[in-house]
Chain A
């Protein structure tokens, strides 16, 4: 925001309240009420407003207080955000960033525990990225703000408390690249967002059992980084996808197809995809735990695949 005065934040409680997860804390004091705009509760309209502002020269960041609330903005995100650059024949660009916390939290109930990446993935004209560490959150956010394309940045409710040392110098990550978390030889595990931590926990167990998993945080949900993924598949010949979104029509489903189409010659076994159950996330802690993929399930899946 300091580098470019056209960058502004639009969302509910982003200003005086500092954001419901304090992502925009103190920004309103520094930049004023118009640059960090507290909106009324009207997701569809303020998303559309941000799109109109982007068309006329500003670079807004739209916050969905919870990603699930952006379901109300689906009209604007699908019809306008994704499509206007095309239907205007390239005349107008929509350099918006749409961000917010999503994912399954701690007993937040079904409506606050949604994963919208699968709902948005078919919209042509948008890019989707998911951050998972403080380091890549900062780098991806900067990249998203600087991008001329509309970018949806998925954050996770349970990852806001992570602490990490990050460089003082400015750095910008590549929106389309995946991140190699742990190189390995036996199997490729593709994941993103919070499931990265479940995978790494499972990886510890797997290493003790003698396996050598390669873990890749795909980060770019749309488009997929087929180079990093492809090189890994060519090396290990086995793929396990671990994701938090639903089984039906999820990111994993698209990724499975992409891998089969491009790298089927290199696969020794079918691609296995572990996703959340197709249920509205229950409130009860035990049920909620069984809805998402747990490290033990990941270990079992790897053991099965590697035979």
Chain B
């Protein structure tokens, strides 16, 4: 089975797919503005020396599928896997839809960024990980946390700002953390999670090489968007990760828009996957609306990292069906573009694949839909019934060691005073 990362010495440009209309090309609503690079450009000497290829993986996967026909043993997934993927994507979608409802009903506040439409990326990648593997995300992190295993109840409570939330109500929509499931955040500023993910990967390597823990092979996934790829932290971390061969996979969720800024208006070379080889790692572009394609590539990249061969940059072409956040009027995006991507809904695509290939029947999928509805309803009820944080919680987690609040005038540490946490904010 040919690997997407087989060592061919030419960089195969993406636009090759234009010849093959059945494969999804790299589209955006400003398709007309994109200039086509010269097809006959000979690869430079340095690119020949490089060992990795950059392939339009959608091609590779499609070829494999048509070659093998549709016999059950050659399908990309088993029935169990298919159901797992379907359930995870439906959970993501239903949860986010419920968030929108709850927001407009005044149960959650502030900035809420929903993930509708991008479920294939989260499910495709995160369902391949173990519990010890780490993920780092941005403010659009509810579904990443859910895919990694954080219970819907905890996420919903966190959004409602209750003490039973995964971060005790102190983080909110943009700061989902879970020590148990190794979700390292949830960051509001774009790009600031990428160094943190690089650090988690560094720990994995350190554990193996310095602490001599032979089975330390945890992989870290860093999720971020197209806007982040113009940020310094992105480039600095690509450099360090490739330099030290850290076990990390950089996943770009290119949904073409950074609030109202089109990716093509912000980026000199909009093909983000190309930035990987510039730093010495494979760069791959995939169709992020197709969970099976995502999964195939993700498997390779995660295993590559686990073997200690270093990082990979994967650009997923995806789309968010809703605005940037619930406060975004979403006026700039062309309705035709939205309609186009709506036809590529990842959940509908997986459903179609599984039914056409006779993996499941409608009734089984409907049962999952119903189950997820109940899970989400239960999460809302749980969150509603949970208590708001008490005033005493205000100062509790400022320091891991509360001696950091210092020594008071009476010579005792402030934290030794039992009434300390009920004090006024200036303490």
Q: Which residues of A contact B (CB under 8 A)?
A: 5-6, 8, 32, 34-35, 39-40, 42, 44-58, 75-76, 79-80, 84-95, 124-125, 127, 147-149, 175-177, 220, 222-228, 230, 262-263
- Cα A91 to Cα B232 with chains together (Å): 28
Hey, which chain A residues are within 8 Å of B403, CB to CB?
175-176
- Cα A187 to Cα B407 with chains together (Å): 22
B171 interface hit (Cβ, 8 Å)? yes
Q: Find out whether the CB atom of B409 lies under 8 angstroms from the CB atom of A263.
A: yes
Q: Find out whether the CB atom of A48 lies under 8 angstroms from the CB atom of B171.
A: no
Q: Find out whether the CB atom of B401 lies under 8 angstroms from the CB atom of A51.
A: no
Q: Would you mind naming 28 contact pairs between A and B with Cβ atoms under 8 Å apart?
A: A8-B206, A40-B243, A44-B232, A44-B233, A45-B240, A48-B192, A48-B196, A48-B199, A49-B237, A51-B196, A52-B184, A52-B197, A52-B198, A54-B199, A55-B184, A55-B200, A56-B134, A79-B189, A87-B170, A88-B177, A89-B165, A89-B167, A92-B179, A95-B400, A124-B398, A147-B401, A175-B403, A227-B407
Q: Give the contacting residue for B206; candidates A40, A58, A124, A227; CB below 8 A.
A: A58
Q: Give the contacting residue for B196; candidates A42, A55, A58; CB below 8 A.
A: A55
- Cα A44 to Cα B415 with chains together (Å): 32
Hey, which chain B residues are within 8 Å of A51, CB to CB?
195-196, 199
- Cα A91 to Cα B165 with chains together (Å): 12
Q: Find out whether the CB atom of A45 lies under 8 angstroms from the CB atom of B233.
A: yes
Please, which residue of chain A has its CB at the minimum distance from the CB of B204?
Answer: A56
CB distance from A231 to the nearest CB of B (A): 8
Interface string of B185-207 (1 = CB under 8 A from A): 11111001011111111111111
B404 interface hit (Cβ, 8 Å)? yes
- Cα A44 to Cα B169 with chains together (Å): 28
Hey, which chain A residues are within 8 Å of B170, CB to CB?
86-89
Q: Find out whether the CB atom of A56 lies under 8 angstroms from the CB atom of B199.
A: yes
- Cα A40 to Cα B172 with chains together (Å): 34
CB distance from A120 to the nearest CB of B (A): 14
Q: Find out whether the CB atom of B166 lies under 8 angstroms from the CB atom of A76.
A: no
Known: A45-B237, A56-B203. A86 touches B398 (CB 8 A): yes
Hey, which chain A residues are within 8 Å of B200, CB to CB?
52-53, 55-56
CB distance from A224 to the nearest CB of B (A): 6
CB distance from B138 to the nearest CB of A (A): 13
B381 interface hit (Cβ, 8 Å)? no
Hey, which chain B residues are within 8 Å of A56, CB to CB?
134, 184, 199-200, 203-204
B397 interface hit (Cβ, 8 Å)? yes
Q: Give the contacting residue for A223; candidates B171, B195, B211, B404; CB below 8 A.
A: B404
Please, which residue of chain A has its CB at the minimum distance from the CB of B408?
Answer: A226
Please, which residue of chain B has its CB at the minimum distance from the CB of A53?
Answer: B199
Q: Find out whether the CB atom of A227 lies under 8 angstroms from the CB atom of B239.
A: no
Please, which residue of chain B has its CB at the minimum distance from the CB of A86?
Answer: B397
B84 interface hit (Cβ, 8 Å)? no
